[in-house]
Amino acid sequence: MMTKVLTILRAAVLAGAMMMVGACGSGSGSGENTPAMQSTSIDALGTLNAPVTLSAATGSINFTDDASFANNVIIQGFGADDKITVTGANSAQYDAAISSTSAGDVIIAYNSGTALNRIVLQGVIPAGFTGLVFDVASFNALAVGDIEFK
Ligand SMILES: [Ca+2]
Protein backbone atom coordinates (compact mmCIF):
# COMPACT_ATOMS: atom_id res chain seq x y z
CA MET A 1 0.00 0.00 0.00
CA MET A 2 2.73 2.46 1.01
CA THR A 3 4.76 1.47 -2.04
CA LYS A 4 1.83 2.19 -4.29
CA VAL A 5 1.35 5.67 -2.79
CA LEU A 6 5.04 6.43 -3.24
CA THR A 7 4.93 5.27 -6.84
CA ILE A 8 1.99 7.55 -7.57
CA LEU A 9 3.73 10.46 -5.83
CA ARG A 10 6.90 9.87 -7.82
CA ALA A 11 4.93 9.82 -11.06
CA ALA A 12 3.25 13.09 -10.12
CA VAL A 13 6.59 14.75 -9.36
CA LEU A 14 8.04 13.54 -12.65
CA ALA A 15 5.03 14.82 -14.58
CA GLY A 16 5.38 18.19 -12.86
CA ALA A 17 9.05 18.43 -13.76
CA MET A 18 8.34 17.55 -17.38
CA MET A 19 5.63 20.21 -17.58
CA MET A 20 8.06 22.80 -16.25
CA VAL A 21 10.64 21.88 -18.88
CA GLY A 22 7.98 21.97 -21.57
CA ALA A 23 6.88 25.44 -20.52
CA CYS A 24 10.28 26.96 -21.20
CA GLY A 25 10.82 28.82 -24.47
CA SER A 26 8.38 26.88 -26.57
CA GLY A 27 7.84 27.85 -30.18
CA SER A 28 4.26 28.66 -29.40
CA GLY A 29 5.21 31.78 -27.53
CA SER A 30 4.06 30.85 -24.05
CA GLY A 31 7.55 30.39 -22.61
CA GLU A 32 8.15 31.55 -19.07
CA ASN A 33 11.35 31.42 -17.13
CA THR A 34 11.40 28.31 -14.94
CA PRO A 35 14.01 26.88 -12.58
CA ALA A 36 14.96 24.42 -15.34
CA MET A 37 16.02 27.29 -17.61
CA GLN A 38 19.36 29.04 -17.13
CA SER A 39 19.73 32.72 -17.97
CA THR A 40 22.86 34.11 -19.56
CA SER A 41 23.47 37.71 -20.59
CA ILE A 42 24.92 38.35 -24.04
CA ASP A 43 25.57 42.04 -23.34
CA ALA A 44 29.14 43.26 -23.91
CA LEU A 45 30.05 39.98 -25.63
CA GLY A 46 31.95 40.38 -28.89
CA THR A 47 33.16 43.47 -30.72
CA LEU A 48 31.96 44.98 -34.01
CA ASN A 49 34.46 42.95 -36.03
CA ALA A 50 34.79 39.87 -33.85
CA PRO A 51 31.66 38.04 -32.73
CA VAL A 52 31.71 35.64 -29.79
CA THR A 53 30.28 32.18 -30.50
CA LEU A 54 27.96 30.66 -27.89
CA SER A 55 26.26 27.29 -27.79
CA ALA A 56 22.70 26.56 -26.75
CA ALA A 57 23.03 22.91 -27.66
CA THR A 58 23.12 21.76 -24.04
CA GLY A 59 20.38 22.73 -21.61
CA SER A 60 17.59 25.23 -21.84
CA ILE A 61 18.94 28.76 -22.09
CA ASN A 62 17.37 32.21 -21.83
CA PHE A 63 19.73 34.64 -23.59
CA THR A 64 19.10 38.08 -22.11
CA ASP A 65 19.84 41.15 -24.22
CA ASP A 66 19.64 44.71 -22.96
CA ALA A 67 19.34 46.85 -26.10
CA SER A 68 21.35 49.67 -24.53
CA PHE A 69 24.49 47.49 -24.25
CA ALA A 70 26.23 46.40 -27.45
CA ASN A 71 26.79 42.76 -28.30
CA ASN A 72 27.88 40.71 -31.31
CA VAL A 73 27.28 37.00 -30.84
CA ILE A 74 26.74 33.86 -32.88
CA ILE A 75 24.50 31.31 -31.18
CA GLN A 76 24.72 27.69 -32.32
CA GLY A 77 22.25 24.98 -31.38
CA PHE A 78 19.39 27.39 -30.58
CA GLY A 79 16.39 25.09 -30.14
CA ALA A 80 12.79 24.91 -28.99
CA ASP A 81 13.83 24.97 -25.31
CA ASP A 82 15.82 28.20 -25.63
CA LYS A 83 14.71 31.82 -25.92
CA ILE A 84 15.91 35.42 -26.16
CA THR A 85 14.60 38.05 -23.76
CA VAL A 86 15.11 41.66 -24.85
CA THR A 87 14.86 44.63 -22.53
CA GLY A 88 15.17 48.31 -23.48
CA ALA A 89 13.42 47.94 -26.84
CA ASN A 90 10.04 46.76 -28.03
CA SER A 91 8.83 44.25 -30.54
CA ALA A 92 8.01 46.90 -33.16
CA GLN A 93 11.56 48.24 -32.98
CA TYR A 94 12.97 44.76 -33.58
CA ASP A 95 10.65 44.06 -36.54
CA ALA A 96 12.97 45.92 -38.90
CA ALA A 97 16.06 44.36 -37.29
CA ILE A 98 15.42 40.73 -38.29
CA SER A 99 16.48 39.04 -41.51
CA SER A 100 17.41 35.59 -42.71
CA THR A 101 20.03 34.04 -44.98
CA SER A 102 19.86 31.28 -47.57
CA ALA A 103 22.12 29.27 -45.25
CA GLY A 104 19.27 28.99 -42.75
CA ASP A 105 20.53 31.57 -40.29
CA VAL A 106 18.52 34.37 -38.73
CA ILE A 107 20.29 37.68 -38.14
CA ILE A 108 19.04 40.13 -35.56
CA ALA A 109 20.81 43.48 -35.76
CA TYR A 110 19.22 46.24 -33.72
CA ASN A 111 20.88 49.63 -33.48
CA SER A 112 19.66 51.51 -30.39
CA GLY A 113 21.43 54.66 -31.55
CA THR A 114 24.35 54.07 -29.21
CA ALA A 115 24.66 50.29 -29.24
CA LEU A 116 24.54 47.67 -31.99
CA ASN A 117 22.87 44.51 -30.74
CA ARG A 118 23.77 41.75 -33.18
CA ILE A 119 22.81 38.09 -32.83
CA VAL A 120 23.26 35.42 -35.49
CA LEU A 121 21.19 32.31 -34.82
CA GLN A 122 22.82 29.62 -36.90
CA GLY A 123 20.71 27.02 -38.67
CA VAL A 124 17.36 27.83 -37.05
CA ILE A 125 15.50 27.77 -40.36
CA PRO A 126 14.72 24.18 -41.36
CA ALA A 127 15.74 22.82 -44.77
CA GLY A 128 12.94 23.21 -47.29
CA PHE A 129 11.39 26.19 -45.45
CA THR A 130 9.61 28.29 -48.07
CA GLY A 131 8.52 31.30 -46.01
CA LEU A 132 10.41 34.41 -45.05
CA VAL A 133 11.74 35.34 -41.64
CA PHE A 134 11.66 39.14 -41.61
CA ASP A 135 10.13 40.28 -38.31
CA VAL A 136 9.43 39.17 -34.75
CA ALA A 137 6.20 37.33 -35.60
CA SER A 138 7.71 35.32 -38.46
CA PHE A 139 10.71 34.44 -36.29
CA ASN A 140 8.49 33.36 -33.39
CA ALA A 141 6.51 31.18 -35.80
CA LEU A 142 9.60 29.01 -36.31
CA ALA A 143 9.86 25.79 -34.30
CA VAL A 144 12.69 27.20 -32.17
CA GLY A 145 12.26 29.35 -29.05
CA ASP A 146 10.91 32.88 -29.21
CA ILE A 147 12.17 36.42 -28.86
CA GLU A 148 10.34 38.01 -25.98
CA PHE A 149 10.26 41.63 -24.81
CA LYS A 150 10.15 42.61 -21.16
CA1 LIG B 1 22.55 44.02 -25.94
Using the mean position of ligand 1's atoms as its centre, give its distance from the Cα of residue 19 in Å: 30
Using the mean position of ligand 1's atoms as its centre, give its distance from the Cα of residue 128 in Å: 31
Number of domains within the chain: 1
pLDDT of residue 34: 53
Using the mean position of ligand 1's atoms as its centre, give its distance from the Cα of residue 73 in Å: 10
pLDDT of residue 11: 44
Using the mean position of ligand 1's atoms as its centre, give its distance from the Cα of residue 87 in Å: 8
Using the mean position of ligand 1's atoms as its centre, give its distance from the Cα of residue 14 in Å: 36
Residue 12 domain boundaries: 2-149
Phi, psi of 66 (to 5 degrees): -85, 120
Query: If phi over 0 gives left and psi between -120 and 50 gives alpha, with beta otherwise, what is residue 7?
Result: alpha
- Asked whether the CA dihedral 21, 82, 36, 90 is positive or negative, the reply is negative
Which has the closest alpha carbon to 122: 88, 79, 87?
A: 79
| DSSP state letter for 19 | H
Segments of the chain with pLDDT less than 50: 1-3, 5-23, 25-30
pLDDT of residue 5: 45
pLDDT of residue 36: 87
The whole-model pTM stands at 0.77
Task: Compute the chain's Rg from CA coordinates.
Answer: 18
